[in-house]
Amino acid sequence: AQTVTQSQPEMSVQEAETVTLSCTYDTSESNYYLFWYKQPPSRQMILVIRQEAYKQQNATENRFSVNFQKAAKSFSLKISDSQLGDTAMYFCAFSYSGAGSYQLTFGKGTKLSVIP
Partner 1 sequence: GAGVSQTPSNKVTEKGKYVELRCDPISGHTALYWYRQSLGQGPEFLIYFQGTGAADDSGLPNDRFFAVRPEGSVSTLKIQRTERGDSAVYLCASSPGQGGRETQYFGPGTRLLVL
Helices (H), 49-107: none
Nearer to partner 1 by C-beta: 100 or 116? 100
Is residue 67 a contact partner of residue 58, using CB atoms and an 8 Å limit? yes
| Smallest separation (angstroms) from partner 1 to the CB of 108 | 5
Nearer to partner 1 by C-beta: 61 or 81? 61
Is residue 11 a contact partner of residue 112, using CB atoms and an 8 Å limit? yes
| Smallest separation (angstroms) from partner 1 to the CB of 14 | 26
Nearer to partner 1 by C-beta: 19 or 36? 36
Q: Please state, in angstroms and rounded to a whole number, the distance separating the CA atoms of residues 25 and 74.
A: 7
User: Which parts of this chain interact with partner 1 (CB under 8 A)?
Assistant: 4, 32-33, 37, 42-47, 50, 52, 91, 93, 95-97, 99-109
| Smallest separation (angstroms) from partner 1 to the CB of 15 | 26
- Burial (0-12, 13-18, 19+ Cβ within 10 Å), 92: buried
